[in-house]
Amino acid sequence: MKSPIKRWFAERFDLDALNQPIQKQLKKPLPGHISWFHTLGSMSLFFFVSQVLTGILLLIYYRPTVHDAFESVKYIMTTATMGWLYRQIHAWGANLMIIVVFLHMLRTFITGSYKKPRELTWVFGVLLFFITLVFGFTGYLLPWNQLAYWATTVGTEVAGAVPVVGEPIKILLRGGVAVGGETISRFFVVHVIILPWALFFIILIHIFMVRYQGIATMDPVGSEKKVTAKEGIPFFPDHVLKEGIVFFVLLGVLITLSVLAPFDLGEKADPLKTPHAIKPEWYFLPMYQVLKYFPKLLGIFVVSLAPLFLVIWPFLDRGKERHPLRRPLSMTIGVLVILSLLIFGVLAHFSETRHRFLGKTYEFDIYGIPHPVSESREAGK
């Protein structure tokens, strides 16, 4: 017996025909090796949705001008109802999204899922990763605090070093010679209109391709067997239930971090007060450190090669095996890349700071190399 609402719709639309493709998708079995690591893609989606929702709430009070930006964020954090919570969830969400998207990329790398026929799923994935990073870069400026102002000044300076096109690109990004009101407007438009829609449509394409081609099995390229309902795991309810559990855990993590480790707003941006050792956000630290070791132009060339390699990786690695243990060369390259990201990140973190280790004080130079500080200098610091 149909409910009156269902009947009302059934008299106007062919509900069975509409329902069929949905049922087909829900019943599609997933390969037997599917694990919790296969929820990293939906975790990335969770963060995207969470960022959009908290971003809309932030937009109610945020004002993208030099005069009001800092004060409006302060108002959200101190006065707006639950403002502190959605601002913190947005800030933590941005950081966690980058980690989760990266881990999802790593998972598909380790299981060789980028190989034929899923090369384009990977290419669109890389685009998603870069857009997520640009989200971070543009959003960082919006609170208009000291850290944001100077990190953006340095970040846009890097673009300016490229010959011929660099200077016009820098001016285009900044909307003028220096970072100012024009820069906030531009970053704001990119952050709240261009990037969310770009991410939305590319996620649609990405997930459509994943559903259309199915999750990769561990069989070598060319001998992938079709997953049968008997050997596979049902997408619904088994995998969907797993995703539901993960979403609740993530929500718990976001709220816990927002309460226990809130992000500080810091001081309002002051173009006349240059802070000591300006550093970008943690996810740009490895790139920022690499740039220090090379002459300007060569450095930019080196760090631009990395994204290029990432995009064309499925076309470089033409081996048929997917299992990580049967791909020693790919795995070695992967491990070396992760290690260098960690090493350069740590070097950048320590560079231009002073720290005490085992009772001795060390000053880390811009290359992250520690120099012991003599006791007399330490006393007079």
**Where do contacts with ligand HEM occur on this chain (CB under 6 A)?**
38, 40-42, 44-45, 48, 101, 104-105, 108, 111, 113-114, 118, 121-122, 125-126, 128-129, 132, 203, 206-207, 210, 215-216
Between 183 and 217, name the residue whose CB sits nearer to ligand HEM.
Answer: 217
Kindly state the DSSP code that residue 364 receives in the 8-state scheme: E
Instruction: Give min distance, CB of 207 to ligand HEM, in A.
Output: 5
Instruction: Give min distance, CB of 230 to ligand HEM, in A.
Output: 20
d(CA 150, CA 269): 8
Instruction: Give min distance, CB of 50 to ligand HEM, in A.
Output: 12
Between 301 and 309, name the residue whose CB sits nearer to ligand HEM.
Answer: 309
Between 57 and 203, name the residue whose CB sits nearer to ligand HEM.
Answer: 203
Between 147 and 203, name the residue whose CB sits nearer to ligand HEM.
Answer: 203
Between 15 and 202, name the residue whose CB sits nearer to ligand HEM.
Answer: 202
- Please report how many Cα atoms fall inside a 13 Å half-sphere around the Cα of residue 69, on the Cβ side: 25
Closest CA to 367 of 275, 276, 277, 280: 277
d(CA 33, CA 110): 13
Instruction: Give min distance, CB of 154 to ligand HEM, in A.
Output: 26
H or E stretch covering 371: strand 370-372
Distances (CA, A) of 63 to 75, 300, 354: 11, 34, 37
Instruction: Give min distance, CB of 112 to ligand HEM, in A.
Output: 9
Instruction: Give min distance, CB of 138 to ligand HEM, in A.
Output: 16
Between 106 and 169, name the residue whose CB sits nearer to ligand HEM.
Answer: 106
Closest CA to 28 of 234, 328, 334, 261: 234
d(CA 144, CA 146): 7
Main-chain dihedrals φ then ψ at residue 356, nearest 5 degrees: -100, 125
